[in-house]
Structure 1
Amino acid sequence: MTLASTLAAASGPPAPGPHDFNLPSILPWNGSTSWGVNFGLEDGFFISKPMVLVVLSLIIVIALFAAAARPAAVVPGRLQFAGELVYGFVRDGIARDNLGSKDYQRFVPFLFAIFAFVFVNNYYGLVPFVQFPVMSHIGFPLAIALVTWVIYNGAGIARHGFVGYLKHETVPGGMKGPILLLLVPLEFLSNILLRPITLTLRLFATMFAGHLLLVLFSLGAGYLLLHSDNPLAIPAGIASGILFVAISCLELLVMFLQAYVFTLLAAMYIGEALADEH
């Protein structure tokens, strides 16, 4: 018997994997309503947990910062201070540093929105009874990355014109001659086509891997402590539980860093598109 078949035959907790991210629908719907209206959804329609969490994140962000901005006191309270701290961090630490004092202000709302949105949806992964980072579903970071792609390319075209922007993004400054036959396609691929993909994969893969590790060690600890008869199960289960707590603490930092890095790269791409020279 091979090692793989032995492991497959052994009893144990279900192995975590991509299937853990395919959550069952909360509200399945076949496209028909109780009053006889059919919306033509032949394959049906459903509302899933990530959909609910995304809508809830919008409500949370809008409600929190609306409440923080409402007093507008000279001496801010705790909520206003926290709101101003986050806004100032994005405005001064990300937007101003990467876009310059001339252009940064008009892009602050967008950068602030994606930072807050990604931040909240990342931290769902550590909220009890929720425990699912929405950005571990690739469709959500892909949508934000595509919006970012449209904005930075649109800003560059508005500044330089369509042809001028293509030249700006694909022809490195000071480069001439036959080497451009190699550099121009590479620059076009890197700066125009691949950026939304790399933005998406960086955020998605980190959230996916982190959540998978948490599932692995939590399931392992539960099985080893509660269901295994092996004499080594208890110390192994305790070790698995400790690793679960340690990775959860690490995820507190990683989730913030991913929101920051995504917003920082968006600001860098916008700043590069607006710059006078590539």
Structure 2
Amino acid sequence: MRTTILITSPDQWTAPGLDLFQFAPIIPGGPEWFTKPVLIALLSSVIVMAVCWAAFAKPKVVPRGWQSLGEYAYVFVRDQIARPSLGKDADRWMGLLLTVFLTVLVWNLMGVVPLVQFPVAAHIAFPAVLAISVYGIKLYLGVRHHGVRGYLRGIVHLPGLPGWAYALYAPMILAEVFLTSLFTHFVRLFANMFAGHIIVAFFSSVGFWFLFERLTPLGAGLGVLGVLMAIVMTAFELLVQFLQAFLFAMLAGMFIASGLHGSH
């Protein structure tokens, strides 16, 4: 497993950069794709499956322990994500939406786990694959339930819009539904996790350098400030990590609903 070196010069502090996101294969001479982010993603999947198994494999009438945690997550996703978007179809899609929410949440939380400290979604390939999967489900549902023509008509049709205006409106709404929505789904998650990881690493590097590598009376204050800011930004990042998991799952629910209902 590759350890990223933030300090590249023995005499000068260097801010962390894109090297934080570059990883060599875990096994020397092994598969190029088997890097730290892949290992963390696999570990995240195991964690999600283990939590769900512990919570729901043998449910009790009075929930305790993992079951209480699992039911809280289930109710949150059902009431805040599934039902507002899918209405009467919410229960049918709870398995997918709960899995998406928990997977993205664990991916994000890996950024603050000691020794791991890398949010999987900060590597754009992972949220992109998840978003493309939801996108494929949306298109499949739209065509299956409405046919190609009916699906496109449901997207483009806007009551009260003059016929001549469709020449402008139709291309824009079709681009939003079939292109922009896909990219915004995963880019929002990726950008937030990428930026958050950089910011926390920056302040951590400042604190480490001025308190341990080059401790001086003048630099000590800056080092303490770096440590305090790293703590504050980590706490803020926890909030962002939960919020981004919620938004990603909420958009997934909205896209699935658009396929079912044949509208934008």
Does residue 67 in structure 1 map to residue 54 in structure 2? Answer: yes
Counterpart of 1:86 in structure 2 is: 73
Offset at 1:111?
0.8
Listed as ranges, the matches of 1:188-207 within 5 Å are 188-207=174-193
Listed as ranges, the matches of 1:29-40 within 5 Å are 29=29
Offset at 1:204?
0.2
Listed as ranges, the matches of 1:146-225 within 5 Å are 146-225=132-211
Matches of 2:12 and 2:218 in 1, distance apart?
14
Task: Determine helix, strand or coil for the equivalent of 2:228.
Answer: helix
Task: Determine helix, strand or coil for the equivalent of 1:178.
Answer: helix
Matches of 1:252 and 1:229 in 2, distance apart?
30
Matched residues, percent identical? 37
Counterpart of 2:246 in structure 1 is: 260
RMSD: 1.8
Unaligned runs of 5+ in 1: 1-8, 31-43
Offset at 1:56?
0.8
Matches of 2:10 and 2:115 in 1, distance apart?
30
- Quick check: 1:29–1:46 contact (8 Å CA) kept in 2? no
- Quick check: 1:170–1:191 contact (8 Å CA) kept in 2? no
- Quick check: 1:169–1:273 contact (8 Å CA) kept in 2? no
Offset at 1:171?
3.0
> One-letter code of the match for 1:83?
G
Which of 85, 108, 121 lines up with 1:122 in the alignment?
108
- Quick check: 2:25–2:32 contact (8 Å CA) kept in 1? no
Counterpart of 1:27 in structure 2 is: 27
- Quick check: 1:25–1:48 contact (8 Å CA) kept in 2? yes
Over residues 116-150 of structure 1, what are the superposed CA-to-partner deviations in whole Å (9 max), with x where a residue is unaligned?
11000100000001000000000000001100111
Does residue 55 in structure 1 map to residue 67 in structure 2? Answer: no
Matches of 1:119 and 1:276 in 2, distance apart?
29
Counterpart of 1:14 in structure 2 is: 14
- Quick check: 1:133–1:211 contact (8 Å CA) kept in 2? yes
- Quick check: 1:27–1:46 contact (8 Å CA) kept in 2? no
* Higher Cα radius of gyration: 1
- Quick check: 2:151–2:263 contact (8 Å CA) kept in 1? no
Unaligned runs of 5+ in 2: 1-8
What count of residue pairs does the alignment treat as equivalent? 256
Task: Determine helix, strand or coil for the equivalent of 2:114.
Answer: coil
In structure 2, the CA distance between the partners of 1:46 and 1:261, relative to structure 1 (3 Å rule), is closer
In structure 2, the CA distance between the partners of 1:71 and 1:164, relative to structure 1 (3 Å rule), is same
Matches of 1:268 and 1:202 in 2, distance apart?
16
Offset at 1:275?
2.8
Which of 115, 126, 130 lines up with 1:144 in the alignment?
130
| TM-score normalized by the length of structure 1 | 0.87
> One-letter code of the match for 1:57?
S
Offset at 1:214?
0.8
| TM-score normalized by the length of structure 2 | 0.91
In structure 2, the CA distance between the partners of 1:137 and 1:276, relative to structure 1 (3 Å rule), is closer
Over residues 151-185 of structure 1, what are the superposed CA-to-partner deviations in whole Å (9 max), with x where a residue is unaligned?
11211222211111111123323323111001100
